[in-house]
Amino acid sequence: MEKNSAYLRQWMAASIASMSLLITGMFLGWPSPTISKLRARDTPLTLSGSEVSWMISLLYVGSVVSPLPGGVLMDRWGRHKSLRVCSFLALSSWLLLAFSTDVTCLYISRILGGMWGGISYCITPVYLSEIAEPRIRGALNTMFTLMVYLGIMFEYCIGPIISYNLLSIISACIPLLYFLLMFIIPESPYYFVMRQRNQEAREALVWLRCTQDVDEELEAISKAIKSDMKNKGRVQDLVRTSGARRALFMVEIAAFLQRMSGSSVMMAYISTSVPQDGVVSGDQCAVIMCSLWLVFGVWSTFLVDRIGRRPLLAFSCIGCTLATAGLTVWFILSSNPSMNVTSYKAVPLICFALYALFFPFGLACIPSIIQGELFPSNLKGLASGITAIVVASLSFISNKLYQPLSDVWGTYINYLYFTLCSAYGIYFALSTLFETRNKTLQEIQKEL
């Protein structure tokens, strides 16, 4: 009973903290239902194709500039306080979106939203890994991606049926709710130990484990922190030891695969990627795809600590390779005037659905899980900041180049690249990735 209560507490803390990614998912999903409105003069603003491209991509510019400051803040203020205070970036962004009357304000609002996304991506995986027991740490970390899907789904579902301004105002309520709910859950015990506030660390562990018998775990954390903090985390420390280099390589390659498998492009452009006279409309395809992301993301929660990180990532990459390969062939054939693909209009929907089925099992969740697991305490802030910058930079590049590459070479060239990246992910998962299933953070550092 006590153990079940502890798991429930940890799930609650993870769910509330991961709302940071729900808000980020809302920023990711917002363009899909609003692009048509921004182009059709249904809003106070009317944007050209180039302005729409910048509007989508500037979210990732904000995500590039904020992670390193976020990494510093989480070690100075704490993981909990940093997320709580910085949520006002998200609130400000939504309010600017609601009331902006020119494209400059729209751009600024997207940059602010990206800054929040960079901070949340940097801090949340670390918090989730540090509050969780080894047996459920992987499952708790899948909350990270589930909340992203939920946020995207929120925008996909209500965006097409309400006005541009009302969508932004409703969305602004979520960061405010998040700020209030964060007062319920404790700070990471690891942060308290880092700051030599052992009594507060003990109180946090007692709350999370639902027992007063936490002295052994607290002692293990203290020893690990003492060992990690002998050296202040600096950039050169990330490459000084073989373990740190190995961790950095695996996390950055996993982040690269996640973004360059096509996920960020599909989030933004899915509604305009299916044939307008196809089986379903673009908005309906977006909702179907996000629903599948969400459903199979829940399944990954139950599998990640049972099967392990490596097999799930390999399985995910295999499915995504097949899906994007199918889309590559479809876009090649549909762009050929001599080819009649009228009878095969369901193919893009099937391929997008296949991608949505496989992506959540590994490519979506494994990068954030290992980001919180592989680095020692003195390097977590710095490493998480670098990873968030890598993710944001790759997302910016893939989103910004999608339309120009489609105009010059054809849409298929983007999906061909996504296919090659996913195919490499199979090799990476089976040959390089370090398995962390059911290991404590201390055991992981010893084995690296």
CATH number of the domain where residue 376 is located: 1.20.1250.20
In a domain, 203, yes or no: no
Give, in order, the Cα–Cα distances in Å from 372 to each of 180, 184, 227, 248, 380.
25, 22, 18, 12, 7
Q: Residue 89 has which token pair?
A: 């970036």
| Average pLDDT estimate for 161-180 | 92
pLDDT of residue 177: 96
Residue 194 domain-assigned (yes or no) = no
CA dihedral 17, 23, 25, 29 (to 10 degrees): 170
As a whole number of Å, the CA-based R_g of the chain is 22
The answer on 250 and 130 residing in a single domain is no
Task: State whether 252 and 126 are in the same domain.
Answer: no
Q: What is the DSSP letter of 102?
A: S
Residues 62 and 156 in one domain: yes
Residue pLDDT, tens place only, 34-71: 877 776 665 667 777 677 778 888 888 888 888 888 88
- pLDDT tens-digit readout, 136-166: 887 787 787 789 889 988 988 888 888 888 9
Greater confidence (427 vs 235) lies with 427
Q: How far is the C-alpha of 101 from the C-alpha of 105, rounded, in Å?
A: 7
pLDDT of residue 19 exceeding 80, the answer is: yes
Give domain status of residue 440, yes or no.
Answer: yes
* Domain range enclosing 329: 240-447
What is the DSSP-derived secondary structure letter of residue 434?
Answer: P
- Domain annotation covers residue 219: no
Q: Which two tokens stand for residue 353?
A: 């659905």
Q: Within a domain: residue 206? A: no
Contact 387, 370 (CB under 8 A): no
The residue that leads in pLDDT, 380 or 433, is: 433
The alpha carbon torsion through 214, 220, 226, 227 (nearest 10 deg) reads: -170
Q: Is residue 216 part of a domain?
A: no
Q: How many domains does the chain have?
A: 2
Tokens 């009878």 -> residue: 343
pLDDT of 276 over the 70 cut: no
DSSP state of 188: P
pTM for the predicted model, two decimal places: 0.78
Do 328 and 416 lie in a common domain? yes
Domain contains 48: yes
Instruction: Clarify whether residues 299 and 172 are in a common domain.
Output: no
**DSSP assigned state of 185:** S
**Residue type at 366 in one-letter notation:** I
Q: In the prediction, which pLDDT does 251 show?
A: 92
Contacts for 252 with CB less than 8 Å, ≥ 6 apart? 386, 387, 390
